[in-house]
Structures are given as C-alpha cells and as structure tokens.
Amino acid sequence: MAKGINTQVAVIVLVLVSVFAISQVGKKNVEADYVDILMDNQGKDIGSKEEGTIIMMTKIDLNNIFINPSQRLRYVVLFSSAVLDGFGIKYNFIGSTLEAGLPLIKGETISILDGNMHQIGYTYKKDVGQELYLDGVKIASGMFTGVKETVPIGMVVLDADEEVIKAESELLYVDRALNEGEIMEIFNNAK
C-alpha cells in the first residue's frame, strides 16, 4: 500500500514539473542581468604591489552610459589594475558605496554620480594599511594585504557584461603612501 502511494506521489510531482516546464517554454527570464561599466585607465597603473597612492579626479555622467533596459548597473569600475590581480577602485551602484583595495574596504553610503567633479584618493602599504578618500576626506580604512579574496565554496559568481567608457577623469599615481594632510592638500590645489 505504501509503495503504491509513493509511486502516485512521484507521478504527480513528475506531471507538475512537466506542466511547469512546458508553461515556461518561450518565456524570457524577467530577472535583470547585471552590468559593470569600466572607466578607461588611460594606460596608467600602479607601479608597486607594496606601497603607493592613487589620486583621480573624475566626473561620471550617467547620461553618457547606455545600458540595455533588461540590465541593471552593478559597478562603475573607476580603476582596475593589471599589475595587482583583483585590485581596483569602484562605485557600487546598488549599495551607493565607494569600494577599493585588497581586501575590500567600503565607504559610507554616498553618491558620486551627481555630475560633479570628485577627487578619489586611495593609499596603501602592504601589511600596514589602506585608506580611501573622497574629496580630501577619509571615508574608509583597513589592513592592506595585497591578496585577492577567494570566493567561498558553494557560492556562484556570475560573469557580468562589461562596457569600457571614456569619462572626464585624471589619474595620478605616487609610489608611496601619502598621508591624510597630503591628500587634502592635493584636493585643495585641484579646486
């Protein structure tokens, strides 16, 4: 008797799964794909994996960024290094946070997509620390290891479409970690 009931349940489940699968034929996945926008590094990169400072003046105009209506903007990658795997500076569009470094440090919720020119500064010194600045003000800090974080087993990372754009941006690299006063002085002189 129990074997007959289990067989009936299995047949019902199989029928329901088949009906669902047939009903989905021809339907588009309504979940939006995520896209990352890569800013042009203009051929510049960090010079050392051990210590340095990146200063950029950038203005991001979302009107110049075309995204397919089925996509959602995830990151605006402001800087991406070919010298140090996984190292970069990016704006998380979904969380409205500025993020940088290895391991990743994040600033508070902000908006840099306001069409205004902003200075983004980042300093790092291996096994000492890293600091992230916005318009001369420190917004995040932490230890800098220079090692790319690995994704825990069981998590899936989806590849995103990437579009490289040219934006109004200046990039400066200094081969030592500048202090907060030096970052503020560069910001004040750039005004």
SS (H, E, C) 97-131: EEEECCCCEEEEECCCCCCCCEEEEEEEECCCEEE
pTM above 0.85, yes or no: no
CB of 19 within 8 A of CB of 143?
A: no
For position 163, which CATH number holds?
2.60.120
pLDDT tens-digit profile of 22-56? 544 554 444 568 888 888 887 889 999 999 999 99
Decide if pLDDT at 184 tops 70.
Answer: yes
The answer as to whether 24 is a domain residue is no
The answer as to whether 11 is a domain residue is no
Question: 50: domain range?
Answer: 33-190
The answer as to whether 8 is a domain residue is no
Question: What type of residue is 35?
Answer: V
What is the spatial distance between Cα 185 and Cα 182, in angstroms, rounded to a whole number?
5
The answer as to whether 19 is a domain residue is no
Query: How much is the average pLDDT of 99-114?
Result: 92
The answer as to whether 53 is a domain residue is yes
The answer as to whether 7 is a domain residue is no
Our count of domains for the chain comes to 1
